[in-house]
Amino acid sequence: MTTITDIETRLRHRLGLAKTVALGDSRITEAINSGIARAYADGVPGLTGQTLLGRTYGDLALTITAHSAGSSILSINTTPDYVFPGDVVTIGSNKYLVAAITTSPANTIDVGIPIEASINGSSITVTRRSIQVPSGTIYYATLPDSSSNLEPSSRILAQFPTNTGVPQYYTTGYSEGSENSYINLVPAPTSATLVSVQCHDFKDRSTGSTTFNVPEAALDAILERARQAFLGWSGSISKMEATMVGQSTGDTQNQIRAVGSDRAVRVKK
């Protein structure tokens, strides 16, 4: 078990700043958090990575309790649990996509596009094509026991916004209203659908006595990325020093390879 303060001490020694930069210096703390974020994003083993199973949440029947002509905001009769941007809202023969879930006022759905006539009192159905996932990097998703994985796409939702059927693609996003990350399945499944995802978590900003329990190889990868960030921000690093720091960061891949990673496969020669 180690703390951020311990990691800061080690980084100060690596930078040769143990006597000139105090513990808790904001630059050192920022570099450590940057190193952690970069190591997570690089898929360093020993940090949080996991395979998870989740299901879509099925259709949700709601009633609009307030809506004004020309507004995109729909007040509804209950909390729209597990509704995320990209879910399909059906009102009569018209379909919209959820743009946002708002908390103030509560129990509201924003479809983003103004609806010309008032639809107050209408019954609506929300097709919940989304699954809440940890806030981090989703790098693989599939329907379990299927022969093909789901393809990531940032544009597929615009191309096939309301199509239903067996999912073939996924998009990712973050809902500010619920403060959760999610994936959208495209086409939208018509029933609860099981999905398997592999992901790396993001870690919240850490300071001082925050404990951080990772293997030494992963900690070395974090420190080298933090050192690279600090020297890059200082603007006083020479071209040769930048090359050496980059090589040192790359050397941590040897340790990553030793513990296994889909980004650095061990090859027998």
The residues spanned by each domain of the chain are 2-47+203-259, 51-200
At 119 the pLDDT is 96
Beta strands in the chain (DSSP E): 2-3, 49-55, 58-66, 71-76, 88-91, 94-97, 100-102, 108-115, 123-128, 130-133, 136-142, 151-152, 169-175, 180-186, 194-201, 211-212
- Using one digit for the tens of pLDDT, what is the confidence trace for 62-96? 999 999 999 999 999 999 999 999 999 999 999 99
Q: Residue 208 corresponds to which amino acid?
A: G
Do 233 and 240 form a contact (C-beta atoms < 8 A)? no
The predicted pLDDT at position 148 comes to: 72
Q: Which two tokens stand for residue 57?
A: 């949440």
CA dist 77 and 72 (Å) reads 16
Within the chain, which residues score under 50 in pLDDT?
251, 256, 258-269
